[in-house]
Amino acid sequence: MALGALALGAAVLGGCGRPDDASGAAPDGTAPAPGSTPSAVTPSPGAPAAASDGAASDAAASDDPVLADFSGVVLPDGAAAAGLDYVNLSGRATKPTILEANGAGVALIDLENDGDLDLVFSQGCADLDTLITGPGADLEIFANDGSGNFTRRPGPGLRGWWTGLCAGDVDGDGDMDLVVGGFGQAAVLLQDGSGALVPVDEPGLLPPGDRRLVPGEPRTAGLPPTWITSVALFDADRDGHLDVYLGQYLDLDPVDPPLGELGEGVLALPCSWKGLEVYCGPRGMTAQPDRLLLGRGDGTFVDASERLGDVEPGFTLGVVPFDADGDGDTDLYVAADSVPNLLFVNDGTGTFAEVGTGAGVAVSTEGMAEAGMGVATGDLDRDGRMDLAVTNFSDEATQLFLGAPVGFRAATYRTGLQRETRRLLSWGVHLVDLDADGRLELFTANGHVYPQADSPNTGTSYAQPDTLWRFGRGLRAEAIPPGGDTSILALARGTRGSAVGDLDGDGAPEIVVVTIDGPAAIGRNTHGRTAHRLELRLEGAGARTGGGQTGGEGADGAASAGAPRSPRDGRGARVVVVPKLPENEAFAVLCEVQTTSGYQSSSSPYLAIGLGAATSYTSIEVRWPSGRIERIEAGDGGRRLFLREGAGVVKSEELER
Amino acid sequence: MRTHATHRTILARTATRVALVAALAGPLTAEAVTAAAGPAQEPAPEDAPTTEESTDDSVAGAAANAALELQMERATRLAELASLLDLGLVSDALELGLPLVAAGPPPGPLVDDGRAIALVARALDDAGRGDEARDLLIAANVIPATGPWIELEWARLDLVQDELDSALRRLVREDGTLRLPDFPQAWMLTGRALARRGSLGAAARYLNGYLERAPYAPDTVSALHILHLEALQRRDAEAATALLAESERRRRAFELIRARSLQVRANPKDALPRYGLGLAYLELGDTRAATAALEELVELQPDFARAYFQLGEARRLSGDREGAVLAFGEGLARDPDDHKCRLNRGLVLGQLARYDEALTDLEFLLRSDVAGTAEYAGIYLGLARVYDRTERPEAADQAYAKYRELGGDQPR
């Protein structure tokens, strides 16, 4: 097919970018990113601008044969069998306040550096009163034995109502640490070498003053705490130290929360939805501004929120760092509840400009600010540009924005996602290739915020099954049926945070979902057994420490002080893999090392690549955050490759099948 | 017993209410209102005898009254149904609407009304009962004048299902002309479908047509936003910025209107939410809806003095100068020191060529403590215009000079 040939040409000529777009250089003068197509995020004079549902390029790879393999039970829940007994607690079942409806998240993190992914869950309390009186909740940790079986481990001893988590090598010592946010609390936990997570004293995540809530300490009314939702570790200023973006929600007074109505007297606004009395917010309540903090590389951070510019506070729920414009630095997309979403574009130094409206990703195609619950990135249409999937409220669609030469194009309606998603209220979201066919599927974790959704004529329900779509010909969304009662897609419940990553060592990513007020689930990935996969684990050179480096070199091979550096955990690296296929079937896979995705959760930092019908790959190209570009020569699939910046493949092992 | 004049007033108010609801829930032409509410009644002349005075026609009068009552009842229920749906009160809408369109026996009073059936179908679909919505539309047997509402609802359902081509086939002939050009919603749905398909340039034509036909409907927010995208595509940054700003302004106004409407429903006898609703409509620029809301307010609470100024403004901006003078007068009757009411009454009286009365108000203000302030510079403009028309050029020059001195920049 002609469109398939276009994708092939792009792959051969430099990853998955199209030949006519393969121009432009990184701001620091390094070569253009391999395999990724440079794009501008806002229109400039003389340039075509973002449009809605484009007709041409986003179908580029969509006429290829569909190889999807979702036979049998899809993503069967293996949590109980694996010993995972986490049960979420998020306040009262009636959900009288908004905090109690938002649920928790999960982080996939390698504790003990044993190569497998362990699980850390955030946790809430029985209600606001018990949060205030204490003792509050701790994080809950489950250690993986390497084959996907889990054993509960003691928590780090935190006390609070915990929400979003993000795993990353905060101190650059080669193991993964954790940053966790909460309602009036935030913590940085560093691994101590034995796999224990040890809280950092005064990491600088919370502003000074009364915004902190310490369970057990007396509290008076009128002091709403800092409420952190999603947490994103990324390297904003390219110094090799991880920085953090804290998404924040709204002012909720835990001592005297609004109940039934906002305001007073005849101008009070009833807190209602479809005529039913529900908890109050976010509309009518005060949004908290998000914050950006720069990491010092020792587990402490300094507030640099002024670098975000003068942005009106929203009600942030989801955050995802990614290179939106393909220029080599990391930008941020922020899904905000009931107000326009934000796209922060990095100037390469960690100073941002908000361009969501101009880029076409702030509101729906028709100008409506939607609920903005979670967000995922991935190259869904395989055109060499990152796309965005944003989950929303019921009666709103999960929006799909495809990366375009300038900005993004909404593809929600043409792909049929409105029809598929309008009854759902979705939170966690992932664009992930579960069956290794080289195409991304869309997963959403679903569940309504209001128990009242079970009333007649709401058009939705409180408990909802999670959903998975593949994108067939014409990029049309096709719901994948659960295939059996044990599928995580079969059981109606309310899920919130979710994370993807290979838990059992076979290279196939599982999905972990956090059920509000219920047990967590693990959707075991049993799909694509015949397909070949690659797993890539990247290690960056890290920040410069003292008089030397922690390893590797800068972009130009010299140790110049001002040159960009790559974080030790490889975060921000962009990778293009070209499977070895006949010319008429060729495609390239673009992905990026990031862990924050979906809602309040942290996925695997390892890249899971599906090779489709190929058994091997032609090339792997890595663009490190430092600007260095490395090309890995052809090799076989079914491998786990360890790539170190400047050293190429330093270890290769076979994936268990 | 009600008089014809009273009926006429009620009918006019009902028509206003229906039109207001139409603005909230979708398009409604005068023709459609008539069709939806039943056969049109020729209003009696202003000086026609009342039924009390015309006992010879008592039988005919009673029949006319009954027809009017029926017409009013249908229009009121239709308006209430649309209002409930617009506020997202789907259960309430179904509770009201399903009996209205029930096939029977006995049949519901609006079973032959395409507008009502379309609204109930929308409510059913919103409630997750899409199959029932389709069954209702399939079974509909409506009077021809209201048939287009059924077709438009089918197109809307197609759009909800992402069936863009199907929606366009329902809306547009092969030659590109609309099948239902008299219905604003046909323009909006067509523009929306084309935009969702990626044809922004083609969408713009229909969206502009929609804005012309339904300038204050909630969907104008979307129409303006899509036009903003189209302007971006044309690289017309200035137009894009203006369209986006207007879309945002309207979005905020509609959010306010929705909040105020909910407050009015919660506190129907309190004046303040209704006053806020009137102001919100004024903020939007929908003076007709503002007038209706404020008239309801002063009917409910005649002593709410502040409302009369806003009502006068709403009427003035609607072009109803006589009505504006009356409203300002009511305000002054309750608060003689309401200088804004007096100023605007004086200005409107001048526009009505009632110069003596205008001068009385404006010269009164000259003797008040607001004279000579920039906020009331309009006193001098009004005087200048009246003096011009009463052939007092020197006084006019002086007044206009004072007006300019105070910062006024409108022409004389």
- Inter-chain CB proximity B88 and A273 less than 8 Å: yes
Instruction: Please judge whether B263 and A269 are an interchain contact, meaning their C-beta atoms are less than 8 angstroms apart.
Output: yes
How many Cβ pairs within 8 Å bridge chains A and B? Answer: 131
Q: How confident is the model at residue A217 (pLDDT cuts 50, 70, 90)?
A: very high
pLDDT higher than threshold 70 for residue A649:
yes
Is residue A365 less than 8 Å (CB to CB) from chain B? yes
8 Å CB contact between A316 and A247: yes
pLDDT of B24 > 50? The answer is no
| In the predicted structure, residue A56 carries a pLDDT above the cut 70 | no
Residue B273: pLDDT band with limits 50, 70, 90:
very high
| pLDDT tier for residue A627 given thresholds of 50, 70 and 90 | very high
Mean pLDDT of chain A: 88
Q: Does A422 touch chain B (CB under 8 A)?
A: yes
DSSP state of B78: H
DSSP A549-606: ESSS--TTSS--TTS-B--TT-TT-EEEEEE---GGG---EEEE---B-BSS-B--SS
Mean pLDDT over residues B399-406, rounded? 96
For residue A561, the model assigns a pLDDT of 58
The pLDDT of residue A327: 94
Per-residue confidence (pLDDT) for residue B1, from 0 to 100: 34
Is residue A6 predicted with pLDDT exceeding 60?
no
Per-residue pLDDT at B104 exceeds 90: no
* pLDDT for the residue B94: 96
A605-631 core/surface letters (b: 16 or more CB in 10 A; e: else): bbbbbbbbbbebbbbbbbbbbbbbbbe
Q: Provide the pLDDT for residue A38.
A: 58
DSSP state of A501: E
- Asked whether residue B344 carries a pLDDT value surpassing 90, the answer given is yes
Instruction: Tell whether A260 lies on the interface with B, counting CB pairs under 8 A.
Output: no
What crossing angle do the helices spanning B378-389 and B393-405 adopt, rounded to 10°? 160
- Chain A: give the shortest CA distance to residue B196, in Å: 6
Write the residue in A45, A49, A53 that is nearest to B233 by C-beta: A49
Structure confidence at residue B393 as a pLDDT band (50, 70, 90): very high
Question: Is pLDDT at B44 greater than 50 in this prediction?
Answer: no
pLDDT tens for residues A164-202? 999 999 999 999 999 999 999 999 999 998 999 999 999
pLDDT over threshold 70, residue A555: no
pLDDT computed for residue A523 by the predictor:
98
Ranking A484-498, A574-588, A641-655, B62-76 by mean pLDDT, the lowest is: B62-76
Confidence of residue B68 (pLDDT cuts 50, 70, 90): confident
Rounded CA gap, A466 and B44, in Å?
63
Q: How does residue B350 score in pLDDT terms, banded at 50, 70 and 90?
A: very high
Residue B412: predicted pLDDT? 85
Query: Which residues are paired to A512 by β-bridges?
Result: A499, A522
Q: Smallest CA–CA separation between B328 and chain A, in Å?
A: 26
User: Contact B128/A459, CB-based, under 8 Å?
Assistant: yes
B197 to A422: CB separation less than 8 angstroms, yes or no: no
CB proximity list for A364: less than 8 A, separation 6 or greater:
A370, A396, A397, A399, A410, A412
From A52, A269, A367, residue closest to B196, measured CB to CB? A52
SS3 category, A485: coil
- A41 phi and psi angles, rounded to 5 deg: -95, -20
Residue among A6, A10, A42 nearest A408 (CA): A42
B196, B197, B273 ranked by CB distance to A267: nearest: B273
> Touching check for A251 and chain B: CB below 8 Å?
no
ipTM: 0.83
Which range has the worst mean pLDDT, A1-10, A462-471, B340-349? Answer: A1-10
Q: Higher confidence at residue B21 or residue A377?
A: A377
Average pLDDT in the B116-123 region?
Answer: 97
What number is the average pLDDT over the span B386-406?
96
> What is the per-residue pLDDT across A93-137, written as a single tens digit (0 to 9) for each?
999 999 999 999 999 999 999 999 999 999 999 999 999 999 999
Q: Which residues of A touch B221 (CB under 8 A)?
A: 366-368
Nearest Cβ partner for A367 among B126, B247, B262: B247
What pTM was estimated for this model as a whole? 0.86
Instruction: Residue A457: list chain B partners with CB under 8 A.
Output: 90-91, 94, 123, 126-129
For residues A548 and A236, which has the higher predicted lDDT (pLDDT)? A236
Determine, for residues A54 and B198 on separate chains, whether the beta-carbon distance falls below 8 Å. Answer: yes
Confidence of residue B71 (pLDDT cuts 50, 70, 90): confident
**For residue A14, is pLDDT > 70?**
no
Inter-CA distances, A301 with A25, A188, A350, A597, Å: 32, 10, 14, 22
pLDDT band with cut points at 50, 70 and 90 for residue B66: confident
Tokens of A18: 């199209």
Please state, as a whole number, how many other Cβ atoms lie within 10 Å of the Cβ of residue B199.
Answer: 19
Interface probe for B, chosen from A272, A277, A457 (most Cβ of B below 10 Å), is A457
Q: Is the pLDDT of residue A455 over 80?
A: yes
pLDDT of residue A366: 86
Confidence of residue A41 (pLDDT cuts 50, 70, 90): low
Q: What is the mean pLDDT of residues A327-340?
A: 96
Gyration radius of chain B over CA positions:
25
Q: How far apart are CA A184 and CA A160, in angstroms?
A: 8
Q: Closest approach of chain A CAs to the CA of B390, in angstroms?
A: 48
Does A275 touch chain B if contact means CB atoms closer than 8 Å? yes
Mean pLDDT for B197-219 is: 96
Domains, chain B, ranges and CATH?
10-35+61-161 (no CATH), 176-266 (1.25.40.10), 278-405 (1.25.40.10)
Query: Do residues A313 and A291 touch, judged by C-beta distance below 8 A?
Result: no
What is the per-residue pLDDT for A392? Answer: 97
User: Residue A182 and residue A159: Cα distance in Å, rounded?
Assistant: 10
C-alpha span between A293 and A233 (Å, rounded): 10
User: Are the Cβ atoms of B128 and A269 closer than 8 angstroms?
Assistant: no
pLDDT over 70 (residue A500): yes
| DSSP string for residues in B126-189 | HTT-HHHHHHHHHH----GGGHHHHHHHHHHHHHHTT-HHHHHHHHB-TTS-BS-TT-HHHHHH
pLDDT at B197 over 60: yes
Q: How confident is the model at residue A259 (pLDDT cuts 50, 70, 90)?
A: very high
Q: Supply the pLDDT for residue A39.
A: 67
Of the listed ranges A58-67, A74-83, A154-163, the one predicted with least confidence: A58-67
How confident is the model at residue B158, as a pLDDT?
A: 96
Interval B149-160 mean pLDDT:
96
Looking at residue B60, its pLDDT comes to 67
> How many whole angstroms separate alpha carbon A365 and alpha carbon B59?
58
Nearest Cα of chain B lies from the Cα of A309 at a distance, in angstroms, of 20
Residue A596 has pLDDT above 70, yes or no: yes
Cross-chain Cβ contact A51/B233 below 8 Å: yes
Question: Which residues of chain A are within 8 Å of residue B97 when distances are taken between CB atoms?
Answer: none
Q: Measured between CB atoms, which of A360, A418, A457 is closest to B160?
A: A418
Question: B174 CB contacts (<8 Å, ≥6 apart)?
Answer: none
pLDDT in tens, A610-623: 999 999 999 999 99
What's the whole-number mean pLDDT along residues A282-291?
A: 96
Distances (CA, A) of A634 to A577, A617, B11, B281, B341: 10, 5, 81, 67, 83
For position A420, what pLDDT does the model report? 95
Tokens of B230: 């189209």
State the pLDDT at residue B404.
96
CB-neighbour burial class of residue B127 (10 A; exposed 0-12, middle 13-18, buried 19+): buried
Q: What is the pLDDT of residue B20?
A: 37
Q: What backbone torsions phi and psi does residue A449 show, to the nearest 5 degrees? A: -80, -25
